[in-house]
C-alpha cells in the first residue's frame, strides 16, 4: 500500500486558553474523498486553513508524500499542491477567464495549455456563456462553480472545500452538488467541510468527524 | 472691480500662445508629473507594508505619516531649503532654486498622501484577496501585487490626489524654487505673484488652466474606474 498523501501529527490548535482541537494523527489517502463533519465552532474551517497554510499558528507537523513540513514554515510547493476554496469564494475583479487563468499563470503553465485548461474548466462548470462576465455580475451559485472550476483547473493533489453549498439558492446548490459528484467520480483527493446532508450523502465520501477537540474517521 | 476685461485678456493670453504663460504651464506640468511618477511606486509599497505588516513601531509609523499630511508645506519647504542650501548636506548638488528642488518638494508633499491613501485602500481590501491569491499558488510578492490590483481605484485616487496637491502647491515651491521667471516660476507661484502686482489676466488664465487640469485628471480617473469605481 502506498504512503498517505498527507499525514497530520500532534496538531493542536487553540485560541488563548481554549483548546479547539488536538489531533494525534490523521492520514489523508490519495484518491480518497472525505467529508469533514462537526458542529459549528468545532474547528473544521480552522483545520482546513491549517492544511492550506493559511493558519500557521498551530502546533504539530505534517507530512506530504512522506516529506515532513512544519506549519510555521509552510513550504511554497505545498501551496501548489493543496488548494483551498473559501466558504464564500473570492473572485478577482477581472473576467471569469482571467480568474481561471490566475493560478495557472503562477505555475508557469504555457499559454496554449493555459487556454485549453481554462476552456475545459469553464465548460466543466457550465459557465460557457459567462466567460467574459465580470464576477460582480455572477450569481452566488455561478461564483461557487467558478471557484470550483478555478481550483480544479490547477489539478491540485488535495482539494479543500469549505461549505461549498452554503448560502446558495436551490438551483445554485443543485448545480454545485452535481460538480461535487463529478469530483468524486474523477477520484480527486478532496476534503469537504460540510453540514449539507445532500453533500454528506453523496456516494464515495469517507466521513471525518471533528467534535469536542477530537477527530475520528467514521465508517459508512 | 471689473472682472470681464481681465477675463477677456486671460483668454486672449491663453489662445495667443503667449510663450511666458505656456512656459509656466509646461514647467508646472512636467515637474508635477515627474514628481508623482518618481514617488508613486515607493509610496504605494510603503503604504502596503504599513497596512499589512506587523512590526514594532508600526502604529507609530502610521501616525507619523498621517501627521505629515497636515504638516505646513512651508515647513517642508524650509527643511528641503536647509538640506539643499550651500551649507546644507546636499548643497554641493546645487539644486536649490532649480525645478529639481521643486520636484523634490512635490515628492515630499505627495508622499504622505500616497502612503495614507494606500494604507486606507489596502486595509479596506477584502482579506480573502491575499488569501485566495496565496491559495492559488501566488508567492508573497505576487499576492501583494494582486491585492494592490484589486484596490486599484483607491490607489488611482491616491495618485490623482497627490498630483493635485503637487501641482497646486505654492509655499514649498516659492521657498525652494524662488519663483524665478523662465526657470522656476510655475502656475501657483505665478498666480500669487501676478495677483499681488495687480495683473489679474495672467492669474485668471493660469487659474483656468489649473482648474482644467484638476477636472481633466478627475474625469480620467472616473473613466478608468468605469463601473468598477462605483462598486
Residue B49 falls within a domain, yes or no? yes
The range of the structural domain enclosing residue B156 comes to: 20-224
B228 contacts in chain A (CB < 8 Å): 93, 134
What is chain B's Cα-based Rg?
20
Structural domains of chain A sorted by starting position, each given as residue range(s) with its CATH number in brackets: 6-218 (3.40.50.300)
Residue B15 falls within a domain, yes or no? no
The residues of B whose Cβ lies within 8 A of any Cβ of A are 126, 128-129, 131-139, 142, 146, 149-150, 227-228, 231
Residue B115 falls within a domain, yes or no? yes
How far are the Cα atoms of A148, A176, A184, B33 from residue A126, in angstroms, in the given order? 11, 10, 18, 47
Residue B3 falls within a domain, yes or no? no
Query: Which three three-digit cell numbers place residue B130?
Result: 491575499
ipTM for this prediction: 0.93
List A residues 55-84 in contact with B (Cβ-Cβ < 8 A).
76, 79-80, 83-84
- To which residue does cell 508646472 refer? B28
Number of independent structural domains in chain B:
1
B126 contacts in chain A (CB < 8 Å): 90
Tell me which DSSP letter residue A162 carries. Answer: E
Tell me which DSSP letter residue B92 carries. Answer: G
* CATH number assigned to the domain comprising residue B39: 1.10.3720.10
- Contact flag B135-A52 (C-beta cutoff 8 Å): yes
Question: Does residue B152 surpass a pLDDT of 70?
Answer: yes
For chain A, the average pLDDT equals 93
For B90-136, the pLDDT digits (tens) are 999 999 999 999 999 999 999 999 999 999 999 999 999 999 999 99
The alpha helices in B136-199, defined as continuous H runs, are 140-150, 152-167, 171-177, 187-197
Residue B204 falls within a domain, yes or no? yes
Residue B6 falls within a domain, yes or no? no
What pLDDT was estimated at residue B2?
A: 76
What pLDDT was estimated at residue B223?
A: 87
For B52-97, the pLDDT digits (tens) are 998 999 999 999 999 999 999 999 999 999 999 999 999 999 999 9
What's the start-to-end Cα distance of chain A, in Å?
22
Residue B142 falls within a domain, yes or no? yes
In chain A, at which residue ranges do the beta strands (DSSP E only) sit? 6-15, 18-28, 33-37, 59-64, 67-70, 82-85, 158-162, 190-193, 205-211, 214-218
For A15-49, the pLDDT digits (tens) are 988 999 999 999 999 999 999 999 999 999 999 99
Residue B102 falls within a domain, yes or no? yes
Query: Which three three-digit cell numbers place residue A27?
Result: 492520514
Query: Which three three-digit cell numbers place residue B157?
Result: 485616487
Which residue of chain A comes nearest to B142, CA vs CA?
A: A106
How far are the Cα atoms of A77, A84, A190 from residue A46, in angstroms, in the given order? 21, 12, 16
What pLDDT was estimated at residue A31?
A: 94
Amino acid at each position: 500500500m502506498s504512503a498517505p498523501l498527507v499525514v497530520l501529527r500532534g496538531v493542536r490548535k487553540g485560541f488563548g486558553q481554549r483548546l479547539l482541537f488536538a489531533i494525534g494523527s490523521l492520514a489523508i489517502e490519495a484518491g480518497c474523498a472525505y467529508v469533514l463533519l462537526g458542529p459549528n465552532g468545532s474547528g473544521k474551517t480552522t483545520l482546513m486553513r491549517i492544511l492550506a497554510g493559511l493558519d500557521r499558528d498551530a502546533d504539530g507537523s505534517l507530512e506530504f508524500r512522506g516529506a515532513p513540513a512544519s506549519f510555521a514554515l509552510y513550504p511554497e510547493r505545498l501551496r501548489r499542491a493543496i488548494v483551498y476554496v473559501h466558504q464564500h469564494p473570492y473572485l478577482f475583479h477581472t473576467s471569469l477567464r482571467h480568474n481561471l487563468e490566475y493560478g495557472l499563470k503562477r505555475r508557469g503553465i504555457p499559454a496554449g495549455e493555459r487556454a485549453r485548461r481554462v476552456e475545459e474548466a469553464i465548460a466543466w462548470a457550465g459557465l460557457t456563456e459567462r466567460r467574459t462576465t465580470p464576477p460582480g455580475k455572477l450569481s452566488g451559485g455561478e461564483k461557487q462553480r467558478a471557484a470550483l472550476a478555478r481550483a480544479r483547473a490547477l489539478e491540485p493533489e488535495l482539494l479543500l472545500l469549505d461549505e461549498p453549498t452554503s448560502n446558495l439558492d436551490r438551483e445554485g446548490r443543485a448545480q454545485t452538488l452535481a460538480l461535487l459528484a463529478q469530483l468524486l467520480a474523477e477520484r480527486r483527493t478532496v476534503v469537504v467541510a460540510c453540514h449539507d446532508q445532500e453533500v454528506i450523502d453523496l456516494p464515495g465520501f469517507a466521513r471525518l468527524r471533528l467534535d469536542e477537540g477530537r477527530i475520528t474517521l467514521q465508517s459508512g | 472691480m471689473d472682472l470681464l476685461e481681465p477675463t477677456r485678456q486671460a483668454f486672449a493670453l491663453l489662445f495667443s500662445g503667449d510663450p511666458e504663460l505656456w512656459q509656466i504651464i509646461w514647467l508646472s506640468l512636467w515637474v508635477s508629473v515627474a514628481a508623482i511618477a518618481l514617488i508613486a511606486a515607493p509610496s504605494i509599497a510603503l503604504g502596503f507594508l504599513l497596512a499589512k505588516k506587523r512590526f514594532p513601531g508600526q502604529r507609530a509609523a502610521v501616525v507619523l505619516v498621517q501627521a505629515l499630511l497636515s504638516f505646513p508645506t512651508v515647513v517642508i519647504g524650509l527643511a528641503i531649503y536647509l538640506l539643499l542650501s550651500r551649507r546644507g548636506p546636499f548643497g554641493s548638488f546645487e539644486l536649490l532654486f532649480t525645478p529639481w528642488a521643486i520636484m523634490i518638494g512635490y515628492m515630499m508633499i505627495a508622499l504622505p498622501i500616497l502612503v495614507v491613501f494606500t494604507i486606507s485602500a489596502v486595509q479596506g481590501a477584502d482579506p480573502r484577496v491575499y488569501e485566495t491569491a496565496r491559495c492559488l499558488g501566488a508567492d508573497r510578492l505576487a499576492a501583494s501585487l494582486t491585492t494592490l490590483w484589486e484596490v486599484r481605484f483607491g490607489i488611482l485616487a491616491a495618485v490623482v490626489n497627490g498630483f493635485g496637491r503637487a501641482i497646486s502647491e505654492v509655499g514649498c515651491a516659492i521657498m525652494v524654487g524662488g519663483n524665478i521667471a523662465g526657470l522656476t516660476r510655475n502656475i501657483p507661484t505665478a498666480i500669487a505673484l501676478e495677483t499681488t502686482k495687480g495683473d489679474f489676466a495672467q492669474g485668471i488664465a493660469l487659474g483656468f488652466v489649473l482648474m482644467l487640469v484638476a477636472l481633466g485628471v478627475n474625469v480620467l480617473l472616473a473613466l478608468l474606474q468605469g463601473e468598477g469605481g462605483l462598486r
